[in-house]
Chain A
Amino acid sequence: SQQGEEDPQALSIQEGENATMNCSYKTSINNLQWYRQNSGRGLVHLILIRSNEREKHSGRLRVTLDTSKKSSSLLITASRAADTASYFCASASYNQGGKLIFGQGTELSVKP
């Protein structure tokens, strides 16, 4: 399988805590993207980090990328109950024609 892996598969935290999700991928990439999926809905793009970037921020989201280890992490700070969702990383390469290779996802539950 080409799929990447995400860790942990499930994460349960209290509101206000930080949530960290990790992703590993298999091939060299052009960029890595993170998506969110609320139960029963389509995926929504959160953030894209290019292969020449090491860290990127967007609001309460912080993404890091380590191309030498083929890994990325997504940090959600000061989590809210509304952050409860599944989070997926997706790797993208020029030589794959724009296709994304998705990880298996982390299911985040934020308890009020």
Chain B
Amino acid sequence: NAGVTQTPKFQVLKTGQSMTLQCAQDMNHNSMYWYRQDPGMGLRLIYYSASEGTTDKGEVPNGYNVSRLNKREFSLRLESAAPSQTSVYFCASSIHGGEPDEQYFGPGTRLTVT
């Protein structure tokens, strides 16, 4: 049982390049989330998927797109990377059968945009 996995672990992009961050969970969870973490800012929600087939914007969605590929996988795409997107990105999942419940986090992707 791997929990939540993320790839890649590290990435360096040039301004304007695109990339997709991958996330998968093997806990049969309904909901999945993408956060970014910047120094002194805590975690901010980018996008989330409450259930397979649905996605919604979080607090900081600009510059990102997401795809809930199936129940296990939730990807985050940067179409044209900007230096302001330099951050650590975390994927999380939760059962979310009704009550907001605990979230399980992946190890993170450290992204630098130059």
- Interface set of A (CB-CB < 8 Å, partner B): 1-3, 30-31, 33, 40-45, 48, 88, 92-94, 96-105
Chain B positions within 8 Å of A45 at CB level: 102-104
Q: From A48, which residue of chain B is reached at the shortest CB distance?
A: B102
Cβ B107 vs Cβ A42 within 8 A: yes
CB-nearest residue of chain A to B60: A1
| New A-B pairs, 15, CB < 8 Å, besides A99-B58, A102-B35 | A2-B59, A3-B42, A30-B99, A42-B107, A43-B90, A43-B92, A45-B104, A48-B102, A93-B100, A97-B48, A98-B94, A98-B96, A98-B101, A100-B45, A104-B41
Chain A contacts of B58 at CB under 8 A? 99
30 pairs of residues in contact across A and B, judged by CB atoms under 8 Å: A3-B41, A30-B99, A31-B100, A33-B102, A40-B108, A41-B107, A42-B4, A42-B105, A42-B108, A43-B105, A45-B102, A45-B104, A48-B101, A48-B102, A92-B100, A93-B100, A94-B100, A97-B50, A98-B94, A98-B96, A99-B45, A99-B58, A99-B100, A100-B100, A100-B103, A102-B42, A102-B44, A103-B42, A104-B42, A105-B42
Complex Cα gap A15–B60 (Å)? 39
Q: Are B41 and A42 in contact (CB under 8 A)?
A: no
Q: Which of B29-52 contact A (CB under 8 A)?
A: 31, 33, 35, 40-45, 48, 50
Chain B residues with CB under 8 A of A41: 107-108
**B101 — which chain A residues lie within 8 A by C-beta?**
48, 98
Task: Verify A42–B96 contact, CB threshold 8 A.
Answer: no
Nearest CB on B from A44, distance (A):
7
Contact among A1, A31, A103, A105 for B99, CB-based, below 8 A = A31
B79 at the interface (CB under 8 A from A): no
Q: Chain B residues near A43 (CB, 8 Å)?
A: 43, 90, 92, 103, 105
